[in-house]
Structure 1
Amino acid sequence: MTTSIKLTQSAVKGLPFVQPDDKKRQHLYFDTELKGFGVCVGAKAKTFFVQRDLQGKTVRTSIGRYGVYTVDQAREEARELLMKMGKGINPNKEEKPAASVTFGDALDLHLKSNKKRSERTLKDYRYLSDQYLSDWLKKPLTEITRKDCRERHHKIGEKNGPYVANSVFRVFRAAYNHALKIHDELGVNPTIAVDWFPEERRKAAIPSADLTAWYKEVTAMTNPIRRDYLRFVLFTGLRRESAAVVRWEHIDWEKKALLIPRPKGGETRAFLLPLSDFLIDLLKERQKCEQAKTFFPGSPWVFPAESKSGHIAEPKEKLGVKFTVHGLRNTFITVAESLDISPYAIKMLVNHSLPDKQDVTAGYISPELDRLRAPMQEISDRLRLLCDDSKKTQKGQPLEPEKDPKK
């Protein structure tokens, strides 16, 4: 979508970000004052650019992000770029000398080159850079020293924790390495001076002995949407993001299947998940939920919320049993492994690796889906046993043949 407006600081600030359900992933706003100057608005970023026809082709080049550049600063740079383009020079084909390559330039290159990464992952990289290294974005890489990296990493670790500090500098390291592929004169990556914080595994599964207590606490939650979201993650083994964005249109009630159109890894890894009887019942309960009907009428989301996206994010519930949402996924995997279900089936269910498959959107049913129904039901039955401390499944059938009391 393209719109013409006068770009001012307040006007750009007020431009709405693209929502997840928008058909277009970017909206372009062109300045009415300087022809060819504009701002591109995405889901979480606003980027200034210039656009002009060169030799019969439309050429667009980025200037920088709103927040790093003011509108006036971006307009001034736009004039210079448009003058070059008027002389037939394509700024996208000009190679910057290493001394002028900024961290922001390297980051843009890194994000554009990472086509295999999901959109969510790339947004996380951008967020970490903007949040913790914003003062480095316009700084040449040649001016960022080993001492700078070491001290900033330590500072972030003290204030925001070791995991954040390590994540920030993994992004910086990767961006620098991308720039190094083009400018070998940059020299050794300064992150070699960073003393990385040790990271312990934080996403452990809930021990089987604690599942009954955890489930009772979850069942007693007063918010039915958050309650059912946590149960849904446990019984599907989905990643928290995939579970949060489930829409009613993704459910095939007749085939008892759920389409996950954009899992981690993007649309090319879209897959179908068989739904156990427990999950079908849970989803039917969600349809009847009076709270959702009252506060979120007509919502396309299975787990709606008062958020910009319209759906639930990660609920940070404090229960007696410690857990993380991703830990629920690991619990699902642990239970599946305890049942001696084939590693192939487990990987298929949690989308760790998939064989070549047909287009899942061309009909929900597939050989893989049929093959996974029994393992999914078996895992669900076992989870019910562990959570409810009962010997019966949700259908009322015993998991094991009951012993004859006379024997």
Structure 2
Amino acid sequence: MPHAKITQAYVDGLPFSDATIWHHDTELAGFNLAVGKRTRTFYAASETQGRFLRVKIGRSDLVRVNVARDLARNVLLPEIRAGVDPRTKHWSQDDDARTAMSQEARTALRAIRFQEKVERKARVLRDDPRPQPGQVETFAQTWHEYRHFGSKAKSSTLTEYERTLKVHVPDWFERATVEITPQDVLTTWRRLSRSSVVTAKALMRVVSAVMHDAQRREVITRVPTTSLPKGWSTVIRNPKRIKDVFHWWREVDRIDDLYSKSALKVLLLTGLRVGEVLSLRWEDVDLDAAKIYVRDPKRGLPRDVAISTWTVRQLKRLHEIKSGGFWVFPSHAHKGYRQKLPTITYKDQKWRPKDTRNEWDSIATEIGIPHAQRAAQMGHAAGNMTDSYVVTPDVRNAVQAVADEIMQRVKGAAV
């Protein structure tokens, strides 16, 4: 997280980034800039009543730095620190006075205020009005109602939902919603699930959400997705695993970057999530005790995790270099820990970094490691409070046994 005085020249000179990078202004605490793949966006952020609140001011191509900073200093940060969310306030005479000298500031602040959001929804309605009394609602209008009023999903997510619908059921948009029958839905499910159950599930989840919203508004009396096979939403493809760990290990050894190579091997030897391994700090690693401390796992319960002698060997090699400061797997490009790892390709096979987790679990199952021990290592729901942070000898022995089995399977794979 770089700290610098955010000026217009500073903002214009920043390159876009695949991973969001936060820049903090040294002149005004709480005034930040987020740089992503395509945009640079100003934010005002502070703590209020024990919770952290961040409010978007606007993109750098629409709001200049001095305007965004003035809004943050004079309006947004004082309101947040007073315990008020600026997005819940209506436009007032004070706002008129504050922005009287700058149309740019007025536009940015109006986009934050609650009343402006209500007006934007009203404009959407005027552009595509609801059916008049007695008029049959089409699926296109039903989708419009759900997208703008019935769903709380992000705009990008809803855009992807709409693309999914238009690709797989384009003819539905011209039909009346009440005419879409359970048989239509079931036929579509069968057609898609023959080639991809994942695609069929994705489409039916969208259709189910839209239809339930239509039922709530009394457009239809029955949701047609009830005709789907029992348990359709839990039908998944077989979890992806590596299987051919010998050639996976050989291809990993061909990677030039030492940190990526070591991170992938640690993932396979520990069964941890990609984010848990990449965000490791050296202060979280105890090589003498053969354990690491996972700070922010998916379920929000920090825990100690056992590591094998093979993993200790991988980490010791990095510790001797320690060129990334306090990060175990640093990214010199982003001045933090690396955000992603390469996909391993061998012939027609492609193995993603997260496939190592499924492979570890599969190998552990094959050699007879009990479910409770696998769950404890992988960070699944713990049985009691002690299980969430104590590395028991049983788990340590299980982790060592899985690592020994993996190293036996990759014996001779080193390039």
Shorter-chain TM range is: 0.5 to 0.7
Superposition pairs of residues 376-387 of structure 1, within 5 angstroms: 376-387=399-410
C-alpha distance in structure 2 between counterparts of 1:165 and 1:18, whole Å? 39
Classify the secondary structure of the residue corresponding to 1:129. Answer: helix
How has the CA–CA distance of structure 1 residues 170 and 37 changed in structure 2, closer, same or farther, with 3 Å as cutoff? farther
**1:180-200 CA-partner distances (Å, limit 9, x unpaired):** 797566644466699999987
Offset of 1:344 from its aligned partner?
1.9
Paired residue for 1:253? 287
Superposition pairs of residues 100-249 of structure 1, within 5 angstroms: 102-108=146-152, 127-133=156-162, 162=196, 165-166=199-200, 168-169=202-203, 172=206, 175-176=209-210, 187-189=221-223, 201=237, 203-207=239-243, 210-249=244-283
**1:227-252 CA-partner distances (Å, limit 9, x unpaired):** 11211111011123333333333323
How has the CA–CA distance of structure 1 residues 347 and 286 changed in structure 2, closer, same or farther, with 3 Å as cutoff? same
Structure 1 stretches of 5 or more lacking a match? 6-12, 40-47, 54-69, 83-98, 112-124, 137-142, 391-407
C-alpha distance in structure 2 between counterparts of 1:182 and 1:370, whole Å? 54
Offset of 1:279 from its aligned partner?
0.8
Offset of 1:324 from its aligned partner?
3.2
**1:176-228 CA-partner distances (Å, limit 9, x unpaired):** 48857975666444666999999873643333xx3223212211221222211
C-alpha distance in structure 1 between counterparts of 2:108 and 2:225, whole Å? 33
What amino acid does structure 2 have at the position aligned with 1:133? E
C-alpha distance in structure 1 between counterparts of 2:273 and 2:366, whole Å? 20
| The one of 307, 312, 315 aligned to 2:342 | 315
Offset of 1:372 from its aligned partner?
1.0
C-alpha distance in structure 2 between counterparts of 1:315 and 1:251, whole Å? 24
**1:312-370 CA-partner distances (Å, limit 9, x unpaired):** 3242232347233333222212221232222221222223332112496xxx6x2x433
| The one of 369, 378, 388 aligned to 1:350 | 378
Classify the secondary structure of the residue corresponding to 1:388. Answer: coil
Once superposed, what is the RMSD of the aligned Cα atoms? 5.4
TM-score (norm 2): 0.54
TM-score (norm 1): 0.55
**1:243-288 CA-partner distances (Å, limit 9, x unpaired):** 3333333323343222223333x31x43321011111111122233
C-alpha distance in structure 2 between counterparts of 1:275 and 1:242, whole Å? 13
Taking CA–CA contacts closer than 8 Å with sequence separation of 6 or more, which of the two structures ends up with the larger relative contact order? 1
| The one of 312, 317, 322 aligned to 1:285 | 317
The alignment-based identity, stated in percent, is 15
**1:44-86 CA-partner distances (Å, limit 9, x unpaired):** xxxx963349xxxxxxxxxxxxxxxx9598469625869xxxx
What amino acid does structure 1 have at the position aligned with 2:88? Q
Classify the secondary structure of the residue corresponding to 1:353. Answer: coil
How has the CA–CA distance of structure 1 residues 234 and 286 changed in structure 2, closer, same or farther, with 3 Å as cutoff? same
C-alpha distance in structure 1 between counterparts of 2:304 and 2:246, whole Å? 29
Q: Which moves more between the two structures, 247-256 or 173-182?
A: 173-182
C-alpha distance in structure 2 between counterparts of 1:275 and 1:18, whole Å? 41
Paired residue for 1:341? 369
| The one of 289, 304, 320 aligned to 2:331 | 304
Q: Which moves more between the two structures, 187-196 or 210-219?
A: 187-196
Paired residue for 2:360? 332
C-alpha distance in structure 2 between counterparts of 1:77 and 1:186, whole Å? 32
Classify the secondary structure of the residue corresponding to 1:325. Answer: coil
C-alpha distance in structure 2 between counterparts of 1:303 and 1:166, whole Å? 39
What amino acid does structure 1 have at the position aligned with 2:360? F
Q: Number of aligned residue pairs: give it.
A: 302
Classify the secondary structure of the residue corresponding to 1:346. Answer: helix
How has the CA–CA distance of structure 1 residues 330 and 228 changed in structure 2, closer, same or farther, with 3 Å as cutoff? same
**1:92-115 CA-partner distances (Å, limit 9, x unpaired):** xxxxxxx9953344332xx6xxxx
C-alpha distance in structure 2 between counterparts of 1:173 and 1:309, whole Å? 41
Classify the secondary structure of the residue corresponding to 1:27. Answer: strand
What amino acid does structure 2 have at the position aligned with 1:336? A
Q: Which moves more between the two structures, 193-202 or 240-249?
A: 193-202
How has the CA–CA distance of structure 1 residues 370 and 180 changed in structure 2, closer, same or farther, with 3 Å as cutoff? farther
